[in-house]
Amino acid sequence: MSATTETISTITEKPVSISEKQNGEEEYQDRYLEGSHQFVAYDLLEARGKSGETDDPDVKRYQEAKTLFRKGYDLCMTIPRSLEDAVLEKYQEDIKTSAETMVDAWLLDDKAAPMSERVLILGQQYEKVLLKDIPEEQKEGFFVKYSLLFSAWILLVGKQFDHCITTLSLAVDTYDDLTARVFFLRASCYFSTNQLELGIKDLEKSLELDSNFNLAYSILGSVYMSVKNNELALKNFEQYLERGHPDTPDNINALYSMSLLLQKPKSDNKEAKEYYQKAKKAEARFKDLYGTHVGMNEIKREAIQAHETPDEARRLILASLPKKQYNEKIEQLIKAGILNTSFPPSPKNCSHCGTAHLKDTPGKPLLCCAGCKSIWYCSRDCQKLDYKNHKVNCKKQQQKQIQQ
């Protein structure tokens, strides 16, 4: 048995339906898998009629991948959803073409390749077609390149990172014609399982295979920055800024990161400020193209706090939040000095970043401060980052509780 059948049971579906009619049957309601079909900014660029205003190669690659995926998916939807031998025999060439076309699209840009219930069924059909003429004693462990990559696609969508690493490693060890993106995808799995050194090696390998795979420089910069290796972080961000495209979110992140990495205590920090101003200018360009700004992450937040006045920093951070998180009353309380953070203490949101659940774990409650039991966070990292703001009030709350 190859990996495809084993992986299908690890994925759950969410009822996000896409309808097609298939060979005279009643309308079939396909369903995207949870977390697979997501909003992609490149679609917004196209909807705004702005695609012609940037020569960002990532945009072109996404559009090509999307077209390729749709070609494979449309063919898939003409194939009956049956595992019967007679059906598989009749449609075997279409099954192979459809499966391999969509895998190619996934390798080109995984954001353009949403996983759905019908695609999972295609994975089973593809495996049965591949095994059709294989002797029974050889079927156990049989695979071909595309069946491994199809399995890896399913596993990655299902966040089965360890299994995805195993599957991609088997592909890497067996085939010597794999693209840089395969190593990038395995690197993302290594980072998700906190195997940073192996992830770094795979990103370096992706650059060996494709010197224009500039995304690797951006990710390497972020990884090295997270482990406080500022020298290598600077080196990789500089490489990205030199080689990458200026219209990308990665370019903005690199500029904000450089503005922090070059910040020095008791210095005029001219160079750091210049990078910060470049980041703001790049964001303005991004908003002109996409109609929205890039999301608020910790690097951007810290850069704003480092280079703006406290009042302006609070205003910019609040303005970058999604509308549902924006609250004028909170802003007024901050200006009045009543609150030190953007979010008042509540078990419904992290007091540092505003998220409503434990980090990376939807449905799990927030962590409560063990000292005062009156403020909540999504992670230890947010608690540490907010401690300077919270520590005075934490002690006051503890004293009140003792007195009571």
- Per residue in 241-266, pLDDT (tens digit) is 999 999 999 999 999 999 999 998 77
Structure tokens at 335: 């200006």
Distance CA 337, CA 254 (A): 33
**Contact (Cβ atoms closer than 8 angstroms) between residue 221 and residue 233:** yes
**Contact (Cβ atoms closer than 8 angstroms) between residue 108 and residue 65:** yes
Count CB neighbours of 324 within 10 A.
7
- CA neighbor of 341 nearest in space, from 288, 290, 388, 287: 388
- CA neighbor of 80 nearest in space, from 1, 136, 26, 137: 26
- Per residue in 11-41, pLDDT (tens digit) is 444 434 444 454 445 567 788 776 666 667 8
Count CB neighbours of 375 within 10 A.
26
Tokens 């992450």, residue located: 297
Name the E strands within 269-365: none
Distance CA 246, CA 382 (A): 30
Distance CA 163, CA 175 (A): 18
Per-residue confidence of the chain (404 residues) as pLDDT tens digits? Answer: 344 444 444 444 443 444 445 444 556 778 877 666 666 788 888 888 888 999 999 999 999 999 999 999 999 999 999 999 999 999 999 999 999 999 999 999 999 999 999 999 999 999 999 988 777 666 566 678 999 999 999 999 989 999 999 999 999 999 999 999 999 999 999 999 999 999 999 999 999 999 999 999 999 999 999 999 999 999 999 999 999 999 999 999 999 999 999 998 777 789 999 999 999 999 999 999 988 888 888 999 999 999 999 888 888 887 776 544 444 444 444 444 444 444 556 777 777 766 777 877 777 788 888 887 778 888 888 788 777 777 777 777 777 667 66
**Contact (Cβ atoms closer than 8 angstroms) between residue 123 and residue 3:** no
Distance CA 204, CA 334 (A): 45
Distance CA 122, CA 263 (A): 53
